[in-house]
Structure 1
Amino acid sequence: MKEPKIAVLLGGVSEEREVSLGSGKAAAAALAKAFEVDVFDVQSYSELPDGLNPETHVVFSTLHGSFGEDGQAQRLMDAAGVFYAGCDAESSSLTFDKVATKERMKEAGVPVTEEIVFSEGELPEVETVLASLGESVVIKPVAQGSSVGLMFAAGKEQIAAALRKCGVGRWLIEPKVEGTEVTVGILHGKALGVVEIRPKSGRFDYSSKYTKGLTEYIAPAEISKDLTERIRNLATIAFEACGCRDYARIDCMIDGAGNPYFLEINTLPGLKETSLLPMSAGLFGYDFDDLLQKLVEPAIIRYKARQTSH
Structure 2
Amino acid sequence: MTHDGPVLVTGASGFVGRRVAAALEEAGHAVRAMTRRPEAYDGPGDPVRGDVHEPPSLVEALDGCGAAYYFVHSLDSADFERLDADAARAFGQAAGDAGVKQIIYLGGLGGDFDRLSSHLRSRREVEGLLGAGGVPVTVLRAGIVVGHGGISWEMTRQLVQHLPAMVTPRWVSTRTQPIAVDDVVRYLVGVLGHPDAEGRVFEVGGPEVLSYADMLRRVAKVEGRTLPIIPVPLLSPGLSSRWLSLVTDVDTQAGRNLVDSMATEVVVQDDSIRDVVPFEPMSYDDAVRTALAEWRQSRRKG
Q: TM-score range by the shorter chain?
A: 0.3 to 0.5
**Per residue, is there more helix in 1 or in 2?**
2
Q: How high is the TM-score relative to the length of structure 2?
A: 0.34
